[in-house]
Amino acid sequence: SQQGEEDPQALSIQEGENATMNCSYKTSINNLQWYRQNSGRGLVHLILIRSNEREKHSGRLRVTLDTSKKSSSLLITASRAADTASYFCATENSGGYQKVTFGTGTKLQVIP
């Protein structure tokens, strides 16, 4: 079963606008990661936020984590057509062998 659930499932915005995607999860985690997937092939790791962190930035990406609500958000500022892709959150469990489970993904379309 999926640990993470992304919201919305699909998002369409104009180039230059900001895009916000949300992820909710169920169990205790070591970290939460965001990935991008183009054209249904390999995923690219974007950013990792640890459970003791609340916010992290990388270029035009901003990730927040609220462990009390078991939720995270990914903000892409000043979007570009090249940002069109599917975005997945993944959570690494704090117990066992630290299994990473992927969510269902958000399909982002940035219209030029």
Partner 1 sequence: GAGVSQSPSNKVTEKGKDVELRCDPISGHTALYWYRQSLGQGLEFLIYFQGNSAPDKSGLPSDRFSAERTGGSVSTLTIQRTQQEDSAVYLCASSLKRTWGSYGYTFGSGTRLTVV
- Contact residues for partner 1 (CB under 8 A)? 2, 30-31, 33, 35, 40-45, 48, 50, 88, 90, 92, 97-105
Nearest residue (CB) to partner 1, 51 versus 73: 51
Terminus-to-terminus CA distance in the chain, angstroms? 36
Cβ atoms of residues 99 and 33 within 8 Å: no
Measured from the CB of residue 16, what is the shortest distance to partner 1 in angstroms?
Answer: 28
Nearest residue (CB) to partner 1, 15 versus 53: 53
Measured from the CB of residue 54, what is the shortest distance to partner 1 in angstroms?
Answer: 17
Nearest residue (CB) to partner 1, 15 versus 100: 100
Question: Residue 79: beta bridge partners?
Answer: none
Nearest residue (CB) to partner 1, 85 versus 105: 105
Measured from the CB of residue 65, what is the shortest distance to partner 1 in angstroms?
Answer: 14
Measured from the CB of residue 11, what is the shortest distance to partner 1 in angstroms?
Answer: 15
